[in-house]
Amino acid sequence: MRYIHDYENWWKFRYDSGQILNNLGRIRAKQGNVLGIMLSLGFDSQDEAVLKNISLELVRSSEIEGAKLNIDEVRSSIARRLGIVTAGLIPVSRYVDGVVEMQLDATQNYSKPLTHDRLFGWHNVLFPNGMSGMYRIDVGKYRSGDMEVVSGAMGKEKVHYKAPSAHRVPVEMERFIAWANGSDDVDAVLKAAIAHLWFVSIHPFDDGNGRIARALTEMFLARSENCSKRFYSISSEIKVLQKEYYEVLERTQRGNGDITEWLLWFLSCLEQALESTQSTLSLVMRKAHFWERHRNVSFNERQRKLLNMQFDGFFGKLTTSKWAKIAKCSSDSALNDINDLIAKGILKKTNEGGRSTNYILVD
């Protein structure tokens, strides 16, 4: 089987510019629209959107590889590192802190040159104990053995892709890094797509290549916007389309260097990510407008906490017992808080009565 890297000058990828540029123009317009909306909001609202989207990006990127991250830990780590004031911060594991550190280095320092050592640092934080599951791996350095991407039960494995031999990896990565740091006429959004494909095709590490590829993707997307604030999550869309993701990668890696299909798929995925973030933006804007409208209204700490949680969709129907449990107060205090908000025109009782009595926001 001949793979993409078996061709001479394989890194000189080809694609149909006509098809690509039509889609790219539309996506660039949507990028500008999302950025324009978010940058018009206050810093608190921007911070909240950034916190939500970076958290989603990290959790979904890990899920693609079958790893589970606690989203509350991820949020806490991001908030602490970015100095975002938020309620409910919890202790964070060393591993989660490391994953967050990698992502923030990629996006907050998007203009910094990519180096071997920077990539080694990212790899180190993904595998702090030198283990991938039950197996010890080379950490903080390029792989020393050959690499195949396989699936299926032992003895019935299917080989999807065979990466370049280990002795080629240093040279291949030197070339990749030079390209990543160089200036050319390729749009930065396309560079994000090409970097993703190129990196996973080299597959330079024993493990963690997918997560690092998606961090690189975020770095190039930040460069494309000249903005370190991430207002959408492409890994969330890749997770939804995970089967397609692997299939198009495999077809491209088994091809002869024409990457049109991969670029079209990536751009379509990015477009969906930009559209999906509209719902996040609407919630953030609704919350910002609410607090702006009620800036002269007095609220106690419990009321602020529970109202924010309503906007964030953290729980379903709001009842007195649920208020008391979350706010860690008595049922009488919870009812007083709720009645006060009803009197101020902020909450109203639904038509359900008796034990089903619950309350919703007036707006």
Tokens 């590192």 belong to 81
User: Mean pLDDT across the chain, nearest whole number?
Assistant: 91
Residue pLDDT, tens place only, 107-138: 999 999 999 999 999 999 999 888 877 888 98
Task: Return the DSSP state at 147.
Answer: -
Model confidence at 305: pLDDT above 80:
yes
Tokens of 278: 């509209």
Residue pair 96/77 in contact by the 8 Å Cβ criterion = yes
Q: Confidence band (pLDDT; 50, 70, 90) for 281?
A: confident
Task: Say which CATH class 4-286 falls into.
Answer: mainly alpha
CA distance 105 to 118: 9
Q: Is 328 left (phi over 0), alpha (psi -120 to 50) or beta?
A: left
Cβ burial 117-149 (10 Å sphere, 16+ → b, else e): ebbeebbbbbbeeeeeeeeebbbbbbbeeebeb
Q: Where are the domains of the chain?
A: 4-286, 297-361
CA distance 31 to 231: 10
Q: Confidence band (pLDDT; 50, 70, 90) for 44?
A: confident
Instruction: List alpha helices for 182-259, DSSP H.
Output: 188-202, 209-225, 234-240, 242-253
Fold match between 4-286 and 297-361? no
Q: What is the share, in percent, of the chain residues with pLDDT greater than 90?
A: 68
What per-residue confidence (pLDDT) applies to 177? 98
Residue pLDDT, tens place only, 149-171: 888 777 777 899 999 999 999 99
Count of Cβ atoms closer than 10 Å to residue 86 Cβ: 15
Arithmetic mean of pLDDT, 212-230? 95
Q: What is the share, in percent, of the chain residues with pLDDT greater than 70?
A: 98
Lowest mean pLDDT among 64-73, 96-105, 161-170, 314-323: 314-323
Tell me the CA distances in angstroms from 341 to 37, 294, 305, 357, one per residue in order.
30, 12, 13, 15
User: For residue 42, which phi and psi values (nearest 5 degrees)?
Assistant: -70, 165
> Per CATH, the architecture of 297-361 is what?
Orthogonal Bundle (1.10)
Torsion of CA 44, 45, 46, 47, to 10 degrees: 50
What per-residue confidence (pLDDT) applies to 333? 95
Task: Return the DSSP state at 109.
Answer: T
